[in-house]
Amino acid sequence: MSGIAYLGPPGSYSEIAALVWGDATTPLLPRATMPAVVAAVETGAARHGVLPIENVLEGGVTTTLDLLIHETALRISGETVVPIRHVLVARAGTQLPHVQVLYGHPQSLGQCRHFIERVLPGVATVASLSNSTAPVEALADARSAAAISTERAAELAGATIIARDIQDRADNVTRFIRLSHVDHPPTGDDKTSLCFGFSERDRPGILVDTLQEFSGVGLNITRLESRPSKDVLGGYIFLVDLNGHRDDPPVAAALERVRRRVGLLKVFGSYPCWHATDLHANAGGTAAAGTP
């Protein structure tokens, strides 16, 4: 079992993130969908899998979150953050006023909303599976088509860049996680990701009381969001990131107290914290938190 599975084809931001955890001898294994990345690790076709989990503009990546909650027992063993610099690509000679259709991954379309509204108003949009497939689909379209892509994907597809840095914010970044069969041993500077849900409904203070099991002992929650439970309307699963490793005694004790309060508790894993000082290095695919 070797290699790192990622959302491909080559040229995607997921490939950039995968390169952070690999070297010249590490096979990179592109997969067509996020569930396929998970399946590659589960079946032993890959040692690790890399998935996007959070973007500074669009928030949580719902497919990844739902996979973690409902569909896999794999553990998060690392995290990294990759700068996102979107380009608009098309056939050579295509002019912006002539574009009739725009291809892009749903997250990328959302991250470039201002550009689309101002420069391509009324242009039909088509969702692509990745930033790598988008330029390929645009080039195959008989209409005057463009795509949101990465520079590397444009080069691989043979597309021409007609606009650069079209994301809504210059500091656009995406956080990626590495999935493995086991999470990372404690390092002294760790993060734990988990989710929980309640079997009872609508009791005042139920969420606050649960979160206080962490804050009451000085554990810092760095991220909190919710996803539908998918079992009943109005039911939600809450996702939490907190500082500390699940094996640290204060974290382990808090998790046990939370377990007694909730109907569901699933720890996704503990792993070294990524820090903003790593961002410049990650732009070139050379540094990450969670590298063994």
Q: Is 176 a catalytic residue?
A: yes
Candidates 185, 183, 168; CA nearest to 73 is 183
What is the sign of the dihedral through the CA atoms of 117, 101, 96 and 89?
A: positive
Which helix (H) or strand (E) segment holds residue 215: the answer is helix 206-215
Q: Compute φ and ψ for 37, nearest 5 degrees.
A: -65, -45
Q: Give the residues across from 173 on adjacent strands.
A: 83
Determine which one of 150, 174, 192, 210 is catalytic. Answer: 174
CB 157 within 8 A of CB 92: no
Q: Give the residues across from 228 on adjacent strands.
A: 236
Alpha carbons 70 and 66: distance in angstroms, whole number: 6
Long-range contacts of 106-109, Cβ-Cβ distance < 8 Å, separation of 24 or more: 107/52, 107/55, 107/58, 107/61, 107/174, 108/134, 108/148, 109/148
Determine which one of 176, 196, 198, 268 is catalytic. Answer: 176
Q: Is 286 a catalytic residue?
A: no
Q: Which residues are catalytic?
A: 174, 176
